[in-house]
Amino acid sequence: MGLVILTGFMGAGKTTAGIELGKKLNLPVYDTDQLLEEKHRMKVKEMFAEYGEEKFRNFETEMLQSLSDSPAIVTTGGGAVIKEENRHVLKTKGQIFFLHCDFDVLYERLKEDTARPLLKEKSKEQIEKLYESRLACYLDGSVTINTTGKTPEDIADDIISRL
């Protein structure tokens, strides 16, 4: 089976759906942001502040390359797929699912979030532009799962039906 990889924009439900999917398939769940925080002993927003986005994306690439091919659920950070190298690595390691959610729903989930460095002091229009700039990357080599209005259980069941 390899890895079941969940990608998508911030707030799309990757982490919660990934946890539910792991329970249903009895597989371990790895969150790449959490793995990076453990490895570097700092929060993602601290890594962005100290090293900048480019260096953070390099850390992300190293993390993705180091993932085992053993069956597991992997939830990625919202920007992990913007690097072509990362998309290539993910395609070789397993099946990729793009968790798509209507932008207005995403925005409602994200507008009060202070933990995400790329959202800091951004307008709705700026966040939507970021979302749209990533869409092609999310779609590259993935199966699209619409998460709008769905529970984590519904999302997990939808992914299982497509494995």
Annotated binding site for Mg(2+): 15
Q: Is 98 exposed, middle or buried (0-12, 13-18, 19+ CB in 10 A)?
A: buried
Number of domains the chain is built from: 1
Region of 2 (left: φ > 0; alpha: ψ -120 to 50; beta: rest) is left
Q: Which domain holds residue 66?
A: 3-162
| Separation of alpha carbons 144 and 136, rounded Å | 12
The predicted structure's pLDDT at residue 117: 66
The SS3 of residue 31 is: strand
Check residue 114 and give its pLDDT.
Answer: 67
The tally of CA atoms less than 13 A away on the side-chain side of residue 129 is: 7
CATH number, residue 26: 3.40.50.300
For the chain, residues with pLDDT lower than 70 are: 114, 117-118
Residues forming the annotated binding site for ATP?
A: 11-16, 116
For the annotated binding site for substrate, the residues are 33, 57, 78, 134
